[in-house]
Structure 1
Amino acid sequence: MFNLDKYTPNLLSVFAKKGGAIGAKLKPVLNKQIQNQTIEMRRDNVIRGLMLYLGENEEELFLDCQAHLEDVGRHKMKILVWIATSCRPISVVEDDGLELVLQTATGDSSYKLPARRTIMRRIHDQHATEKAAKDKKMLEASCVALTGDHWTSVNNDNYLGVTVHFIDASWELHSFALGVMKTEERHFAEACARQFLYVANQWKIADKISTIGTDSAPNMVAAGRILPIEHLPCVAHVVQRAIVMSLREGGFDGALAKCRKMVGHFKHSPANSDELNVQQASLGQVQEPLVQDVSTRWNSTLEMLKRVRRNRDALHTVLSQQKQNLALPTNAEYEKLAKLEELLEPCRYITELLGGNKYVSCSVVLPALCHLQHVMKISDDDPAYIARFKAAFTKDLNQRREKINLEWLKVATTLDPRFKDLKCLPRAEREPVWAKLSELVKGEEPTLQPLREENSEPPKKKTALLLMDSDLDSDSETPEDNAVERYKVEPSASLDQCPLKWWSEHIAVYDMTREEDLIRIGKNLDKMVSRNTMDGALDLLKELKNFNMTLKLLQETRIGMSVNSIRKHCTDEEAIALAKTLIKDWKRLLEAENNGRSQEGINGLVQEREESPSRSHSRKLDFNDDSDKEHKPRKEKHELKPKAAPQPPIKLEKHGDRVEKHQPKLSERQHKEETLEDQRNEQRATKTDERKHYDVSRRHSSADNTRKRPVELPRPLFERSERPIIPANDC
């Protein structure tokens, strides 16, 4: 059985075609239905009963109708999607030409377009279905961000569009419109704030909103101050205003005015436009129309410059043939326009980069502004008009940059693994950003920039879980601090890598809940060892087995020593075996770390030898200068004389005709240093003699002694009575 609700509107025509007189008999039955029901509701009730009858008594007729109904349902759904996504009027279903096209496309001459009421009902049903799906996604999101924009239609009606953005549990970015509402009242700050709160309450996300982004209009900025959430002005609007101010100061008005008149000459006359197309074809250029710039969109100015410069020859040829009196740009002005295009192209790239909604753009703002400041840096060979443009741009951008909630953007940049080195910030501003990030991770209220006018209750601080009876860790160190420090020293991601994908692969390392659970297990194991009670040790070891232990966590906790003590004193064989397995796995981590360091040392030594030509060259010169040293036998280490300690200078005193040498008295510290140096030399000589004696005795006894030497067991890795071999971090 299939869902009848999808196919009810056209069932009458289907049964009239397939079932003969059955469809005709339904008409009087419909007239007897309750009067307050719509025609669709009456039809649904009758057809449900009819289909049940057909399913039980006329199976072949039922299956024949079902296939046709499914095709009809698919066609209606496609029409619905087309109307909704392309913003088509509902009256399009009354178009006879569209119905003829669909009859030809489907091969069914009896196909009828759905009624207008049917499409309206289906649109509402589909809207409810989509809204439920969006509600479910936002319910699972921990926090969301909103962007809003006021705009005016061609009929001079005011609208507010609100879009939501959030990251789900799978680290995927979602963005979709929450609504477009017509606004009747003036765009005062209080009215704008009420409209945003209304949309948030409609979708039940008012308590999840972290940030709202708008343009830099004064009413929007004031509304952002009223709302108890962070406000981020649109950076693309900031760049727009900086470019507009720079164009006024740069002295490009004359050249741009000539371009506008020239473009208008061809835009307002189809005949002139046709002549330009012919001339473009004769020169082998692409036939493209010119673009007239708009004062509110600087990128249209850039596109106008590109088109004019590309079609310079064609434009001048057509205008010369028409004998027009238009003032054309001179060669010097074309050179100015080329320079201007070079300056505006990076701005276009940054604007498009910040305008994307399928990737994270908030963390790119500060690096993008830093790039623009680098591009607009005045050089010695810049012409005067370019220097004025760059100076005006930099001045205006710096003034507006201070008003775009820099503290929030700094945190976003830090959380992006591509830019967490914070090279876009001065060195003095980097450490405060990391300190603020630590506060946010701990759940503390940020204190660097109070933006809220309304006093909202700050979130509760997370309790710092400290290790029990551990004098190796600082009392103020928390798992959140450790996570931030680990992320800080993590290698930066490549610029072409998606930050969300990076976090999806590394989130387990910075999971606070995971680290707190590990500390809890360590504290319980510590208590068991100190009280000599092993009840529940097996459960804790099993829970510990599920952790992906790292050498860093072993260094920060005493779990290794506790597990080793349980292995020695526990009577449960299963717990002992599990403890041995854990220690064995952790030893591999230590061995891998030591091997990696040894390999790095060897590689560094080899690289140092390869990259130090001065040393190798000097050795080669020494070898060539004294060839007899090649066969000179090397002395044993113990035969080398220790380096003598530096002696104090000898004073010469003259007494009449005699000159006496006086050795100054050594200080107590120098005397101790000489004594210690003599003792070290004696110990080295003794060890060398013992090693030499051992080698001689080993050669004499190797032939006679056939017994195996006893295997020397390695030193225990985790002993409770002493400090662990793995060094502990000092805060």
Structure 2
Amino acid sequence: MYDEAVKQVQGELRETPHVSLTTDLWTSRQTRGFITVTAHYINSEWNLKSAVLETARLKVDHTAENIADELKRICTLWEILDKECCITDNAANIVAAVTKYMKIKQQPCFAHTLNLVVQDSIKNTNEIKLSQEKIKRIVSFFHHSVKATDKLSEIQNQNGVEKKKLIMDVDTRWNSTFYMMERFLEQHEAITTTLCLLGKGNMCLSSEELEVVKGAVLLLGPFEEATREMSTENFTSLSKVIPITRALQQCINSNAHMSAGFGTELQKQLQKRFATVEKVFQLGAATLLDVRFKKVSFVDMGNVKVTEERIMNLMRSEYSQEEINESVPVPHVSQSSETESHINEVQAKRGSLWQCFDAKVETTMKSQRLTSIGPHIELRRYLEEPIIPRDEDPLKWWKMDSVLFPKLHALAKKFLCIPATSVPSERLFFRKQELISHRRSA
């Protein structure tokens, strides 16, 4: 079964010119190091595909040079060393391995960067941090007391509230803090009643603290949605980085009054981490070549022009000099001797009522075909196409219309296959989004 699966994946990888990778380094409970590599590519049918290439034991130190050697070995084994256009990960040693030793492009993991934005914002907002710690103590109390858990279940029954276990957050995942607060608010009345009946009223949150938590949950809701959406493997995600970053900034601006200090800190951290997001060529190119977004999410049109120019330069490198010369717009010629000769030829062949008209149409179409070859015109025509609804698949659009954009569609495959996060390589080791778990470590 393994050999058959390898042959199938190798066959698909041979057919695609662009492959992107995600990586994950981890240590088991037996203190053994491993590296996982996943490949992401768009096949000939314009389907986005993902495959775990290898989970290998890493017996050497996790230095950049050693990681680069292991990545080269895996890429050579799968015959993709000259194909991958990008490796997605945030870890410093992997970034150094990719950029310094392998000399290929590296894409920061959007999910991990977003995690840093939220974690740092919570850490720097005292009222949020204190409320988080207080809720953690409450959750810990219920998790370690059978009597308290049974009493909470009893109160939930009496109040007609759905029985749900309280959630404890994990330091490495900001989402868990959001889920912990969200579940606490949902079960707040039952929790408070239980604590009071057990003589633990001093653990309860004050009304002011409760409002702080409500404001935090409202502000963090869009971040949770963004993290969840960007962690998918089934849809192109790199093109969403700029639109989602702008959408998060707008959401904070709209709801900052719910928790002014926390909202200000989130804005500050977003600006710190994503200030130059539009200037990153890979992100800008992926956004422009996603027919759902194009220029809409850009704030600075100067960045759009720079990205367009770099895309056209890439297209020019794919054109032959003869094609580029032909791409110069051909002025309309009324009746040149060459055109008349062609018309006479057609007349001799057809002798029908529409012979002159048909000859002119054929000549005009030939002229238009020549003028459509150039990169400037091809990109302009693409940008003039209407934007499709956000919930539609841009790859389906490219599959239908790729023939109209002979050079641009190849670049769309190159950039739209790059994942925005390294989550796919981590997902192998956890279920239900539990990144830190005994199952993962095993």
TM-score (normalised: structure 2):
0.78
Partner secondary structure for residue 376 of structure 1: helix
Q: 2:221 is matched with which residue: 345, 357, 372? A: 345
Contact 1:143 1:208 in 2 (8 A): yes
Q: Distance in 2 between matches of 1:470 and 1:300?
A: 58
Q: Distance in 2 between matches of 1:389 and 1:378?
A: 13
Question: How far did 1:464 drift?
Answer: 4.3
Q: Where does residue 196 of structure 2 map in the other structure?
A: 320
Q: Where does residue 133 of structure 1 map in the other structure?
A: 8
Q: Where does residue 502 of structure 1 map in the other structure?
A: 397
Q: Where does residue 88 of structure 1 map in the other structure?
A: none
Amino acid at match of 1:463: Q
Contact 2:315 2:407 in 1 (8 A): no
Contact 2:166 2:184 in 1 (8 A): yes
Equivalent pairs counted in the alignment come to 369
Q: 2:136 is matched with which residue: 257, 260, 265? A: 260
Alignment of 1:337-486 (within 5 A): 337-377=213-253, 382=257, 386-401=259-274, 406-443=280-317, 462-465=320-323, 466-467=325-326, 472=331, 478-486=373-381
Q: Where does residue 294 of structure 1 map in the other structure?
A: 170
Amino acid at match of 1:391: T
Q: Where does residue 420 of structure 2 map in the other structure?
A: none
- 1:177-225 deviation per Cα after TM superposition (whole angstroms, max 9, x unaligned): 00101112222221222221111011111111111111x2221222231
Amino acid at match of 2:271: N
Contact 2:142 2:148 in 1 (8 A): yes
Partner secondary structure for residue 321 of structure 2: coil
1:147 matches 2:5: no
Q: Distance in 1 between matches of 2:238 and 2:76?
A: 25
Describe the shift of the 1:470–1:352 C-alpha distance in structure 2 as closer, same or farther (beyond 3 A).
closer
Amino acid at match of 1:394: Q
1:311 matches 2:187: yes
Describe the shift of the 1:323–1:169 C-alpha distance in structure 2 as closer, same or farther (beyond 3 A).
same
Contact 1:378 1:390 in 2 (8 A): no
Alignment of 1:89-104 (within 5 A): none
Question: How far did 1:402 drift?
Answer: 5.5
Contact 1:262 1:326 in 2 (8 A): no
Describe the shift of the 1:278–1:431 C-alpha distance in structure 2 as closer, same or farther (beyond 3 A).
same
Q: Distance in 2 between matches of 1:395 and 1:374?
A: 13
Amino acid at match of 1:420: K
Q: Which runs of 5+ in 1 are unaligned?
A: 1-125, 445-460, 515-731
Partner secondary structure for residue 156 of structure 1: coil
Contact 2:46 2:399 in 1 (8 A): yes
Q: Where does residue 235 of structure 1 map in the other structure?
A: 110
Q: Distance in 1 between matches of 2:322 and 2:267?
A: 45
1:492 matches 2:366: no
Question: How far did 1:361 drift?
Answer: 0.6
Contact 1:140 1:168 in 2 (8 A): yes
Contact 1:243 1:393 in 2 (8 A): yes
Q: Distance in 2 between matches of 1:355 and 1:189?
A: 26
Structure with bigger RCO (C-alpha 8 Å, 6+ apart): 2
- 1:414-456 deviation per Cα after TM superposition (whole angstroms, max 9, x unaligned): 1100111243331221111111111122227xxxxxxxxxxxx
Contact 1:378 1:387 in 2 (8 A): no
Q: Distance in 1 between matches of 2:123 and 2:294?
A: 37
Question: How far did 1:470 drift?
Answer: 7.8
Q: 1:205 is matched with which residue: 53, 75, 80? A: 80
Q: Which runs of 5+ in 2 are unaligned?
A: 333-366, 410-442
Q: Where does residue 67 of structure 2 map in the other structure?
A: 192
Question: How far did 1:468 drift?
Answer: 10
Amino acid at match of 1:131: V
Describe the shift of the 1:480–1:468 C-alpha distance in structure 2 as closer, same or farther (beyond 3 A).
closer
Question: What stretches of structure 1 move > 6 A for 4+ residues in a row?
Answer: 473-477
Question: How far did 1:278 drift?
Answer: 1.3
Alignment of 1:17-28 (within 5 A): none
Describe the shift of the 1:513–1:347 C-alpha distance in structure 2 as closer, same or farther (beyond 3 A).
closer
Contact 2:20 2:41 in 1 (8 A): yes
Q: Where does residue 162 of structure 1 map in the other structure?
A: 37
- 1:284-305 deviation per Cα after TM superposition (whole angstroms, max 9, x unaligned): 1111110111111111111111
Partner secondary structure for residue 326 of structure 2: coil
Q: Distance in 1 between matches of 2:158 and 2:330?
A: 86
Contact 1:421 1:492 in 2 (8 A): no
Q: Distance in 2 between matches of 1:156 and 1:304?
A: 30
Q: Where does residue 338 of structure 2 map in the other structure?
A: none
Partner secondary structure for residue 423 of structure 1: coil
Q: 1:332 is matched with which residue: 208, 220, 223? A: 208
Partner secondary structure for residue 257 of structure 2: coil
TM-score (normalised: structure 1):
0.48
Amino acid at match of 1:138: L
Describe the shift of the 1:393–1:186 C-alpha distance in structure 2 as closer, same or farther (beyond 3 A).
farther
Q: Where does residue 434 of structure 2 map in the other structure?
A: none
Amino acid at match of 1:413: T
